[in-house]
Amino acid sequence: MKGKFTGRHTGRGSNDTSHAENVALAAFNRLIAEPERLAGFLAVTGLRPDTIRQAAAQPGFYAAILDHVSSDEELLLAIAGEIGLDPAEIAAARARLSPEATFEP
């Protein structure tokens, strides 16, 4: 199945960081496969095609991918379908990579 995320995990919870990173990579592969999707990602992040490799080595890159995908419901549903995951699993991966700060009044 070319282009499909087939990294179903066994013995790992959905909170596992490496699984969340794999989800982000699968989503990124779908982003870069479509020029308009890639353009949207670049516009939001401020990256350029020549800076992606450098950015990918930085902490937070995987989270940025999933933040971008999750910010657009249509994109989220499309990518989830393309990589064979439930959108909730993408949301769980996003939460694992960029947990929300706890609010303390």
Cut 0.85: pTM above it: no
* Dist CA 33 CA 27 (whole Å): 10
> Hey, CA dihedral for 95, 65, 68, 3, is it positive or negative?
negative
* Dist CA 91 CA 15 (whole Å): 11
Residuewise pLDDT in 10s, the chain (105 residues): 334 444 443 334 444 899 999 999 999 999 999 999 999 999 999 999 999 999 999 889 999 999 999 999 999 999 999 999 999 999 999 999 986 633 344
What does the domain layout of the chain look like in residue ranges?
Answer: 39-97
* Dist CA 73 CA 24 (whole Å): 16
* Dist CA 66 CA 75 (whole Å): 11
Q: How far is CA 25 from the centre of its chain?
A: 6
